[in-house]
Amino acid sequence: MLKSERISFIQAKLSALYPDPPIPLVSDNVFQLLVAVLLSAQCTDERVNKVTPKLFSLAVDAFQMENVPIETIYQIIRPCGLAPRKSKAISELSRILVQEYDGQVPNDLKLLEQLPGVGHKTASVVVSQGFGKPAFPVDTHIHRLAQRWGLSSGKNVVKTEEDLKKFFPKESWNKLHLQIIFYGREFCTARGCDGRTCEICRTCFPKRSRAFIAKKS
């Protein structure tokens, strides 16, 4: 199967399975989305969604979060892991948003990346899911699937993001990012598929005889 054929098949299959994929992290505004995405680093969305209701009951926006003691934030978000670093980042970014952005989350990728605890992937999720601007956030799972499906060389997440943006129409990036996440969780997991099991892997590479070992990002 040619790469162009793989791309067409993958997009068609994902669109059929997930025509309107929901945003996995629960939030009521862009600030809460930013905090939730920050918490999701090395943590499942399911666990984040269990933790954030209590946190957001104390602070619904940056103005309120700025006044929540770091220790209180820490105690609430401990189940998400990396709590000392994340609680400090949440407190500091809230202060910066209040002082420099009138409490509003900027919709610019570069400005978001300057906030404490906000890397490129987190910023990409916020601009795409919070503001609807085209972006293609790539986490380790998407990085691994892109390799299995022959869409990227897999050297690092930066290269994978570049490749995916090149192969798929810009208007599809935001939805496709979510579609790949949901497909990976359901059919192409790290343990459940070795590059030869799920339908996309089997269709794209029907002659693959050995387990595919993805390169780490």
Question: Would you call 175 a catalytic residue per the annotation?
Answer: no
Question: Would you call 102 a catalytic residue per the annotation?
Answer: no
Q: Which of 121, 133, 159, 216 is catalytic?
A: 121
Q: Residue 80 class from Cβ within 10 Å (0-12 exposed, 13-18 middle, 19+ buried)?
A: buried
Sequence length of the chain is 217
**∠ at Cα 109 (36, 64), nearest 5°?**
40
Q: Which of 54, 86, 88, 139 is catalytic?
A: 139
The alpha helices in 28-156, defined as continuous H runs, are 30-39, 45-58, 62-65, 70-77, 83-101, 109-113, 120-125, 140-148
Q: Which residues are catalytic?
A: 121, 139
